[in-house]
Amino acid sequence: MFVIGVFLLSGCDHASTKLTVKTAPAVVDNPVKESQLTTITLTSQAEKRLGLKTTTTQNQSIGRTLTQHGEIVAVPGLTVSVTAPVTGKLHGSKLVSGRRVSKGQTVFTLMALPNDTSGLGADEEVAVRQKQLAVVQAKVDRFTELNKDKTTSDRLLQEAQAELKNAQAALEASQARQHFLTDKLTAADKPHLSVIDIEAPLSGVIQTVSATPSQLVSGGAPLFNVTSLGTVWVRVPVYAGDLSSVSGVQTARIQPLGENIDAGVRMAKAVAAPPTANPQAISTDLFFAMSNTDSAFQVGQKVSVTLSRGGSQSGLTIPASAVVYDIEGGTWVYELTQPHTYTRRRVL
């Protein structure tokens, strides 16, 4: 009985033992190999819709160039500051920076402040002129009565009447000055005020504005600056290590940023300018003059500048339109490896 019980216990223990199988946390169906991540396959219809065209690479010899960023700057001497010729009040429409003006165009009108010959304030001068007018008027009345009685000459009466006219004109001028300072001008004040047209000295763009309409300005106060942009300079900072290879260049290829390789290209000529440099960037500035009669470029605008470095080098060439730029500035091309299959390759 004991032996049988032992076998029974041993058999039950063996049956209770089970094998555990581990289950994967995730299953990826049809995994893509890393080498296939840069390969795409298009249908014929997709190629037509995208307008894809292929070409073969060619081994050619091309000139060596250096592409730098540049900045549009105004030509020194073509920025004019306009000031008020006399003390007065400005009139006209509001002037803003960036507005284009033509040579001789009226920008402001300046109503000159009437001269203060008495040294008094506006109100005090009016009061004095009124008293003077009253005195002269009484004098004219007295001479008129005396002239009727033939007790005074006509010449004395005429002199008194002329003095009356002068006193009346002086009073009107002082009143015009008073109204001018208090913004209460009337039609009767206009003959006693001189209006000066402030014109643009040259055709260009308003750069800075220092005064506004209805503002009282003193003689010599700056009103605005105008800059001619018919011709502009391009400032090109060149790294000191590249300066020797482009120091003799006479022309530069200028293009707005973000344009296609041949879009908006203009040629600029080298000009002699005061030497400037940036020690922090270890660069020296080169300057080129460029026509800008259509105002396509603005002062401060950044542009792409291509300079010739002389000599040439040979290598595989492709159309510029075939180059694709990624978000980090890397350059790539797509190679047709099989019909309708394209593989991305980095351009070094």
From start to end of the chain, where are the E strands?
Answer: 39-41, 58-74, 79-83, 88-91, 100-101, 106-112, 195-199, 204-209, 216-217, 222-227, 231-239, 251-256, 266-270, 277-278, 283-291, 302-317, 324-325, 331-338, 341-346
Specify whether 190 is located in the same domain as 296.
Answer: no
Question: Three-state DSSP class for 56?
Answer: coil
Q: Contact, 53 vs 186, CB < 8 A?
A: no
Q: Contact, 215 vs 74, CB < 8 A?
A: no
> Can you give the residue range of the structural domain that contains 347?
36-57+318-348
Q: Contact, 236 vs 255, CB < 8 A?
A: no
Show the CA angle centred on residue 318, arms to residues 314 and 323, nearest 5°.
125
Which residues face 277 on adjacent strands? 284
- Domain assignment of residue 21, yes or no: no
Specify whether 218 is located in the same domain as 143.
Answer: yes
List the chain pLDDT tens, one digit each, 348 residues.
334 443 344 445 544 555 666 777 777 777 777 767 788 899 999 989 998 888 888 888 877 888 889 999 989 888 899 999 988 888 888 888 888 898 999 999 888 876 655 556 667 777 888 888 888 888 888 888 888 877 778 888 888 888 888 888 878 777 777 776 666 767 666 676 778 889 999 888 898 999 988 888 898 999 999 988 889 999 999 998 888 888 778 899 999 987 766 677 899 999 988 889 999 988 999 999 999 988 888 888 999 999 988 777 788 888 888 888 888 888 999 999 999 999 999 887
- Domain assignment of residue 212, yes or no: yes
Domain CATH number, residue 264: 2.40.30.170
Specify whether 91 is located in the same domain as 208.
Answer: yes
Closest CA to 322 of 15, 2, 58: 58
pTM score, whole prediction: 0.56
Containing 179, the helix (H) or strand (E) segment is helix 154-181
